[in-house]
Structure 1
């Protein structure tokens, strides 16, 4: 059965961030992820993890000027030192939180450039970052993000992400396979799971309903089938990762809205135990 991690940047929006850990644990989550931890001291987050028996499974490198529209630094020529600093910061948090993987945010292709013209910068940055992360036993993840949610993002497709993993050539560089983004850009999600999961290059899954990015039982993807595919292929190849629930609750910030929308997870757990 997939292990589900609550994305605390999106779930439980009615609560303060540090209070979301307890809410996730009460709802049966065993792991958590989120976008960025850097507004809080590592010891504060570590205390919430320990108090609630949760595992930190993923977070992102700092994105640059998020409020100004930046979405990562790895592909941007001239920002190499800032990206390296973001990786060092993320690794310090990963050590304190015992987190085994970090999403190294690629960023937007700069105006006047093309993906191909900045690809060498991206590859070189990831090779150097992977060498540093390997000393700590941390995986760096590359995430393809759809062109509708973040226009201009450097990486959009699963096939390109897996080619980049091969090109970078570091065993601790893997793909963050978000089924929502994949469906928007590519479709044929189940076939891609069957194709890519056995390669050993998938480090993490994420889910959300398509097209509105609500609960996974809302929309055009049939997640019970996809969870079954993940289970089936995992049993064959030995994959033991996490599935991050990175969606916006359909009930918004209504008190208890996230918990009320978790019928999909409860139903899958019952089915898996049957």
Structure 2
């Protein structure tokens, strides 16, 4: 009986995740959002990423970077076998978390405003709803990351076809890393969208919380450097350090994001269970 119930919950989680994906892919509003996203990344690929990758290919520019930022700050950036992916990596680490805040802001707020949570909870558990939405939005973001990485590979191979195989190997690691980076942001937005009355309000809360925590942690680190490790509680705290990594070495900071995600998911589940939705 217990196994049957657990199997039903897992099936409901997957069905809800699948529904969120379909809502993006087969809904006019979702397709417009995807088109806008694709256009933004197309412009980034054609101009900043292509231009910056050509800059990286010039050996003398390495000396300029090292003089400005120090040898240790950019040493790994020039070791990438595909320059376009190196520039994409730097841009994506900052841009995708920002996109995640906007994309994942409506996990539950629309249901609250429409009053449709009662309908959902009559048919499945709150755990299934919470984790189903989280998985669905992570799947959507992973598809977007994969789409932009594939476009970057096309850009690189149009310059030199021999880069195809190295690009595919690096791209797989980039996709996995970005997936891990986006986990705590999506989990945080799940909690905020449960609390907020709209996606816009959830986004504002996220910006305010991130700004307040950054300022507070900065002040604490300034006056009490002995507890500087407090910075790791903030989602994205490892991003600036990940820029100067590549290959398997980029996974050294993965435990930070995974730990943040687990804590946020536990808090979100507790809030979901106790809140009057």
Q: State TM-score, norm by structure 2.
A: 0.28
Higher relative contact order (CA 8 A, sep 6+): 2
Give the number of the structure whose residues are more often helix, by fraction.
2
Based on CA coordinates, which of the two structures has the bigger radius of gyration?
Answer: 2
Give the number of the structure whose residues are more often strand, by fraction.
1
Q: State TM-score, norm by structure 1.
A: 0.29
